[in-house]
Amino acid sequence: MTKVAVVTGSSSGIGFETSLLLARNQFTTYATMRNLNKSQVFDTALKEKIPLTVVQLDVNDDASVNHAIDNILKENGQIDVLVNNAGYSIFGSVEELSLEEIKEEFETNFFGAVRAARAVIPAMRKQSRGTIVNVSSIGGQVGLFPFFTAYHASKFALEGYTESLRQELNEFGINVILIEPGAVGTNFMENMKTAKNFNPNDSPYAKIVQRVFEGAQVMMGINIHPREVAQVIVNAVNSANPNVRYSVGRDAESILKRRAQLSDSEMEQWVRESYMEKKGFIRD
Ligand SMILES: NC(=O)c1ccc[n+]([C@@H]2O[C@H](COP(=O)([O-])OP(=O)(O)OC[C@H]3O[C@@H](n4cnc5c(N)ncnc54)[C@H](OP(=O)(O)O)[C@@H]3O)[C@@H](O)[C@H]2O)c1
């Protein structure tokens, strides 16, 4: 039986590659995005003659999510896989970020994933099968960078929510899994927002912001291609017994190894040296 997959944030990066790879693996794939002017994924799918449709879906918007999912269910009668991928980061000190900016970060990275899950769960429960993939981050396991507090918090929230939701949906045959990439070469850094109240000429944080930003840029530059993350996602959804979480990339693995070995204060020191001294996370 053909399986139906829905991916959020498919206009670029991990969502783009995951939509294509699912379609190449014969999933009837709905590559969703908030802005249909960015539907290049459709051109690639058309050339390859793979089963991919582009659908408008803004994860911040109830009506948009419900409309998209209802139509997909009407067309297919089923949804087997939901990949909650849409996300972005905001950079800024807690003092200078507005509460609104922090809430907006949660609106997309956390509530966006919850909203889409709520839309598909009734159908998956009736089918007694389905996989929800939540694209978190290694930054959902460890608070790595200062000034990315809102981003880390939104991904930590996604992780705790996923662990609990797994138990809730287990007896209905629905699996919920986490993907935790390290640095991936996408539009993520270009799409990053900065606190509106941050003024580099005036901020007490200006010097440290500069150093952290440079450290983060260097580390984000040592990255993997988003198709590697897509491959992990497709392997997981094709697996009869997927893991709860998948870290992706050598940096992510190195961070988890340290987290298991070091005390909290040693870990903090290791992380600080990684970005302040630009030593990077890939260290043996
Ligand atoms: N790149 C990394 O190093 C990295 C590492 C760990 C985890 N991640 C996670 O991976 C996921 C994908 O990011 P990426 O690296 O592929 O970055 P990306 O290239 O910037 O892609 C982000 C995608 O999310 C979409 N998006 C943002 N807000 C949305 C909304 N309200 N509704 C629908 N779509 C929305 C963007 O759409 P627009 O084109 O319209 O903006 C874009 O398609 C994110 O959840 C991110 O946190 C990334």
Residue located nearest, by CA, to atom 33 of ligand 1: 58
Does the structure show a pLDDT above 80 at 15? yes
Residue 126 Cα to ligand 1 middle (Å): 30
For residue 168, what is the DSSP state? H
The pLDDT tens digits for 33-88 are: 999 999 999 999 999 999 999 999 999 999 999 999 999 999 999 999 999 999 99
% of the chain at pLDDT higher than 90: 93
Residue of 55, 186, 253 best suited for mutating to test ligand 1, as the one with most atoms within 8 Å of CB:
186
- Write out the two tokens for 161: 């929510």
Q: Which pLDDT does position 40 carry in this prediction?
A: 98
Residue 263 Cα to ligand 1 middle (Å): 32
pLDDT band at 98 (very low <50, low <70, confident <90, very high): very high
Q: Which strands form 245-248's sheet, in the order they lie side by side?
A: 52-56, 28-33, 4-7, 81-84, 130-135, 174-181, 245-248
Q: Which atom of ligand 1 is nearest to the CA of 138?
A: 6
| Cα end-to-end span (Å), the chain | 46
Average pLDDT (241-257) is 97
Q: Which pLDDT does position 221 carry in this prediction?
A: 86
Q: Which pLDDT does position 271 carry in this prediction?
A: 94
Q: Which residues line ligand 1 (CB under 6 A)?
A: 8-9, 11-15, 33-35, 38, 58-60, 85-88, 108, 112, 135, 137, 181, 183-184, 186-188, 191, 226
The question of whether 151 is a catalytic residue gets the answer: yes
pTM over 0.75: yes
The pLDDT tens digits for 142-178 are: 999 999 999 999 999 999 999 999 999 999 999 999 9
Angle of helix 206-221 relative to helix 264-276, nearest 10 degrees?
90
Enumerate the β-bridge partners of residue 83.
7, 133
The pLDDT tens digits for 184-243 are: 999 999 999 999 999 999 999 999 999 998 888 888 888 999 999 999 999 999 999 999
